[in-house]
Structure 1
Amino acid sequence: MPKQINITVKESEEELSSLLRKAKSERERGRLKVLILVKQGKVVYQSQLAYKLGFTEKTIREWLKTYNSYGLSELITIKVGGNNTRVISERVIDFIATQLTNPQTTVTSYVELQGLIEATFSETIDYGTLYAHCRRKHKSRLKVSRKSHYKKDPRAEAVFKKP
């Protein structure tokens, strides 16, 4: 049996329509359309609402639950980005920038840069984090650390080497 919608929308249709016109993202528009359709009484079941707007029933259920618990302001606030806590400190970021933009730098690989940061600031930065930061922020193309295969046999390698 489909789940009925049993919430009351406190805001007026005009207020919701004006917010819909000002909405910047498609998600925000969808959330406001849900409230408008519920306010107009055009839908009775969550499944009808989901079908009409092109969202899943679970999404509609979560939106209605958020509206019922926290109100309109929390419903139309789109939270994206996850946990964006900075791993690299500001002084290390500045150091990386000077190292990558300095033409007299001796740094040729990310591993060297990682070692230099550790020696200078006594901070350990994960290789992947450093690589991603340098590529994203500075478009750098230093040497990438490549480990040889752990099962590699040195005797077999000697046989295949060209004289």
Structure 2
Amino acid sequence: MAGVYKLEIKESQAELKQLLGAQATATGKERMQLLYLLKTGQAATVQTAAQLLGRHRVTAQEWLRRYRVGGIESMLEVKVPPGRTRAIPDWAEKALAKRLQEPEGFESYGEIQEWLEAKLGVVAAYKTVHKLVYYHLASSLKVPRPVSVEQSTEQLSAFKKTR
């Protein structure tokens, strides 16, 4: 008969209910719920279970194929794509963070860009350097505030002593 699954679910209803409650992600809960629906008989076919979950029948069958091959661990495994490699590698980021802690620091993000290229051989865009330093490392450039040429150092030290 078409649509009837031929799968032996090894876990008991109680185990499945406990595993369903232990899932941290929505995808994990959906996949466990599929097994629970089939085990308890709330869904007689894979297509009915898929409709109850709001998923396509092929998706539910794929989850069951993974369960058949590798068990619950395989079914719950979510593959994460590797993504693009970072413009500034971790080792260069650590070296930059260490350099930013020094008292002299940098005067501009362009200077940081030049330092990365000259010392570490890492070529990165200005915007990338700015985002890394300002947002990710939460660091700032070590640029002193402008001081008036008319300002007297004696008056400044006297003011600091009275305050």
**Equivalent residues, number:** 139
Identity %: 25
With normalisation by structure 1, the TM-score equals 0.65
Which amino acid in the other structure matches residue 28 of structure 2? E
Structure 2: gaps (5+ residues): 142-163
With normalisation by structure 2, the TM-score equals 0.65
Larger RCO, structures 1/2 (Cα 8 Å, 6+ apart): 1
SS of structure 1 residue aligned to 2:106: coil
Residues 25-82 of structure 1 deviation map (CA, whole Å, 9 limit, x = unaligned): 22211111100111123323333212211223343122112111111122123444x3
Runs of 4+ in structure 1 off by over 6 angstroms are none
Report which of the two structures shows the higher radius of gyration computed on alpha carbons. 2
Residues 122-155 of structure 1 deviation map (CA, whole Å, 9 limit, x = unaligned): 234566765554455224688xxxxxxxxxxxxx
Look up the match of 1:117.
116
Root mean square deviation, CA, Å: 3.1
Query: 1:50 touches 1:57 (CA, 8 Å); kept in 2?
Result: yes
Which amino acid in the other structure matches residue 13 of structure 1? Q
Query: 1:43 touches 1:49 (CA, 8 Å); kept in 2?
Result: yes
Q: 1:137 aligned to 2:129?
A: no
Look up the match of 1:33.
33
Look up the match of 1:108.
108
Look up the match of 1:15.
15
| Residue range with higher mean Cα deviation, 37-46 or 96-105 | 96-105
Structure 1: gaps (5+ residues): 143-163
Query: 2:100 touches 2:139 (CA, 8 Å); kept in 1?
Result: yes
